[in-house]
Each structure stands twice: as C-alpha cells, then as structure tokens.
Amino acid sequence: MKREADVIVVGSGAGGGTIARELSKAGLDVLILEKGGNHKRFMGTHLSAALMADNLGMRFSVEGLQCFRALTTGGSTMMYCGTFADPPPFIKDKLGIDLSAEIEEVRRDTGVVKLPENLLEGSSLMLMEAANRLGYHWEIFDKFMDPAKCKRHCSDCMLGCPTGAKWTARRFIDEAREHEATLLNGISVEQVLHKNGRATGVRALRGTELIDFRAQLVILCAGGLGSAPILNRSGVWAAGRGIFVDPLVFVGGVYAGDTPRPGTCFNPNMSVGTWEHQQSEGFVLSPLQDPWGIFMLQMARVSLPHVLKIFRYRRWMSIMVKVKDDMAGEIRHNETFTKPLSDADLARLDRGAQVSREILIKAGCREKSIVRGPVRGAHPGGACRIGEVVDINLQSKHIENLYVSDASVFPEALGTPVVATVAAMNKRLAKHLIKIREAR
C-alpha cells in the first residue's frame, strides 16, 4: 500500500475530488484517503443509498436533528440532487474571495445545463406555473446533469444516479487517477501528524489497524462533519465550535386534478424553484420528494397513520423549504454533534412552509391533504471557519502546510446548494498551491 506522496487529500467528495484532480493534473503525486467504500452496485436503489449513507442515513444530532452525508468515493455528491448555484454574495463581499473565474471552470468541467421541459413535465412545471401565477419568480435551475442520459420520469438522484446522468465528484477522482493519483478506500483518518508546527502526514485506521501516511502537504476535505473532529484529534481545539446544516422541511399534498403523473416523484429533484427569498427572508423553495422508502419513514416521524400517505405517493406534490441557519452547536472530536435551531431559523422554516402551502393549493393540491415533514439537515459546514481556524488561503492557523478545503471553511451558511462553491474554492486553492510550488 502506498504510504508516501507529495500531497495527501483526506476525503473524495466535492472538495477532495476537485483538489485531487487539479493537483494531479499539475504533476503532483497525490494520495487520496477515503473513509468509505467504492460502492458501484445497485445504484438508484434504496440499498445503494443505505450503503453509501453515514449510519444508513440515521445520523442525528444530540437534539434529534437528522443530518445526511455519504461516506463513499465521491462523498455526498453521490447522493446530492445535482443542482448548481453560484456562490452567495458574502464570499466576495465579506471574505474578498472572487470565484468568478473558478465558477466558470466548474461549469465547463462538469457540464452544467438547464434540463429540457420534457423532463420537467408534470409536477415541476405545474408548481412553477402556479408559483408564478401567484406573483413569485420561479425559474428552471441549472443542473450538474447530462439530460441526454436522464431517464424520463426518474427522480432517483438521491439514491445514486442509476444512469450516470448526474455529475459526481467520482468523475474528478477518475480523472485524478488517470493522472497517477492513488485512491485508497476504507481508510479513516484519525489525526494529522505534525512536527515543529508543520504537517508531516496523517495517522489513519484501516479496520482496527493504525497506519501512518507521510506527505509534506495535507489537505483535509472530510466534509462538514468530518474535518473538524480530525483537527480536534490533532490538538486544534478551535475547530468544531458553531456549525450550520441548512435545515429543511418538505411540504407536500395530494394533487386532485386530472393531469397524468402529477407526483413530484416523476421529475428530477430540484430542477425548478426560486432563489428570490434567499437574501430577503433566508429560504429557498424547490420541488423535491423523498424516494418512497424514505417518504414512509419521514411520514412515520410525523405520525404513524401518515405512513398510509404512501398510497397517494404518485399523486404527491412536494416542495422543499431550505433555510440559511444561524451558526450554533458543535461537532465533537468523536463526531457526535449538537445543533439547536434558533427561533429565527424556525421562523424562516415557517414562512417558507406557508408560501409552499399557498403554491401547492394553487397547483391543485387538496388543502386538507397538505403535510409538513420533520426538520432535517443536508449541508453541514462552518466548523473550520476562514479567519478563525484557517486563513484566507485555507491554511490552518495552527499547523503549517495543513489546509482545510471543504464545506467546513465557510463562516456562515450558504443557504443555497454548496457543491459549485466548494469545487470553485478548491480550484482556487490548487492555483495557490501550484504557484507556491513553482516559486520554490
């Protein structure tokens, strides 16, 4: 097993995949250490989702807030909805980081497009039209997807895309491997090794065996719930205090009209929606329905009789309300976490749910059938903030040659989909590291 390289990248998700690709293309010897497996079978089924998800998807905060992430090659992009969003204004206005060039590169390298209307017929177009009739401003979203590979009436993005239509960080990992990078799966990094204030490698677990890997440069991309505990276990206790998770609720109801295939389950997730409330009220809206098994579990969390809604699943229209939350709670060195929701977070969720309800009724859902699901989180981050734990170039303030480059570094919640911004940040970091190397 390879144990030494120019650079060790911890994690292979949106952050790790991008930095590994960029640095290996620049000729560096890159070693990618990934905690999860390299799942390939049963894509698009509940089984693949359960195998890829952390703790079978049953990961909860101390308070009981469910939070999803995937532990597999490609990280959470294996289960994401594939929706693209530009970096929020605070990245440039408050941090002074201009990602415009890198975002264009991300668009080009991943093939971002809007899906054609024939894939959106039914719930997506009906909800968009109803919202716009009410005076809202819904639009077709940009997607990390190749519509030519999309199956009609498929919404299995979150189960691991079965057709390969969705771009995932695995593509970047594959490209990195074409440039001689090495990927090791089943390696859970425990801590960063350092001497005289400089990173010298990492110590990791393979099963119960502890293994040391050596490199002069270490980049942590273990994600919003992964990087801070590694820093804690390396003696950096500033990490982990205060996180965001972008809390979300699904609001759905039974369509009462005659249109065939009206359920949100017949369209790719999050393909239309609106960002219009994001800056002013702190929430985004977009049609999204859980796969049927998860739908039943979430309905059971509302109340046991609600599980029977599964019989209306194909007529179920559903809108996700996702809010930009306040920083709160902590991730601990053992990866347990707390995340209390503030009154302001709950008010944003309420307001988004109220607008969603109005749109669902306008689109033809029976008012009495409308149900609001439990609050969940899907975008953890913020535990290794720029300015506190890392500097503006993402280098640790405590250990030289150690970088953190994933969703952990944002000092506030993005409130919008994260992948494009994380990928662009990693392209920027790669340019910085290559420049340092060339200057030597």
Ligand X SMILES: Cc1cc2nc3c(=O)[nH]c(=O)nc-3n(C[C@H](O)[C@H](O)[C@H](O)COP(=O)(O)OP(=O)(O)OC[C@H]3O[C@@H](n4cnc5c(N)ncnc54)[C@H](O)[C@@H]3O)c2cc1C
| Binding residue for ligand X, selected from 189, 219, 341, 383, defined by CB under 6 A | 189
Q: What is the dihedral of CA 351, 352, 355, 358, to 10 degrees?
A: -110
Instruction: Please count the other Cβ atoms lying within 10 Å of the Cβ belonging to residue 118.
Output: 9
What is the nearest approach in angstroms of ligand X to the Cβ of residue 197? 22
**Residues 151, 15: Cα–Cα separation, whole Å:** 28
What is the nearest approach in angstroms of ligand X to the Cβ of residue 277? 18
**Residues 34, 74: Cα–Cα separation, whole Å:** 9
**Helices assigned H by DSSP within 324-364:** 343-363
| Binding residue for ligand X, selected from 7, 30, 35, 298, defined by CB under 6 A | 35
What is the nearest approach in angstroms of ligand X to the Cβ of residue 401? 18
Single-letter amino acid, residue 232: N
Binding pattern for the stretch 143-172 against ligand X, x by CB under 6 A and - elsewhere: ---------------x--------------
What is the nearest approach in angstroms of ligand X to the Cβ of residue 303? 24
Range in contact with ligand X (rule: CB under 6 A) among 6-14, 118-126, 361-369, 385-393: 6-14
39 binds ligand X (CB under 6 A): no
DSSP 36: S
407 binds ligand X (CB under 6 A): yes
**419-439 helix and 100-110 helix, angle to the nearest 10 degrees:** 110
Range in contact with ligand X (rule: CB under 6 A) among 34-42, 99-107, 356-364, 430-438: 34-42
**Residues 39, 109: Cα–Cα separation, whole Å:** 24
Max CA distance (Å), the chain: 71
| Binding residue for ligand X, selected from 8, 24, 39, 80, defined by CB under 6 A | 80
- Tell me how far the alpha carbon of residue 265 is from its chain's centroid: 20
What is the nearest approach in angstroms of ligand X to the Cβ of residue 167? 11
What is the nearest approach in angstroms of ligand X to the Cβ of residue 419? 3
Instruction: Please count the other Cβ atoms lying within 10 Å of the Cβ belonging to residue 50.
Output: 16
**Residues 241, 332: Cα–Cα separation, whole Å:** 8
222 binds ligand X (CB under 6 A): yes
31 binds ligand X (CB under 6 A): no
Contact yes or no for 13/425 (Cβ under 8 A): no
Binding pattern for the stretch 335-374 against ligand X, x by CB under 6 A and - elsewhere: ----------------------------------------
* Sign of the dihedral defined by the CA atoms of residues 322, 54, 181, 171, in that order: negative
- Burial label for 162, CB within 10 Å (0-12, 13-18, 19+), is middle
98 SS3 class: coil
| Binding residue for ligand X, selected from 13, 252, 253, 262, defined by CB under 6 A | 13
Query: Which residue has tokens 């969603």?
Result: 356
Beta carbon nearer to ligand X, 50 or 134: 50
Beta carbon nearer to ligand X, 250 or 255: 250
378 binds ligand X (CB under 6 A): yes
Q: By Cβ distance, which residue is nearest to ligand X?
A: 13
Binding to ligand X in span 242-301, by CB under 6 A: 270
Which residues here bind ligand X, judged by CB under 6 A?
10-16, 33-36, 68-69, 71, 75-77, 79-83, 158, 188-189, 221-224, 226, 230, 270, 378-379, 406-407, 417-420, 422
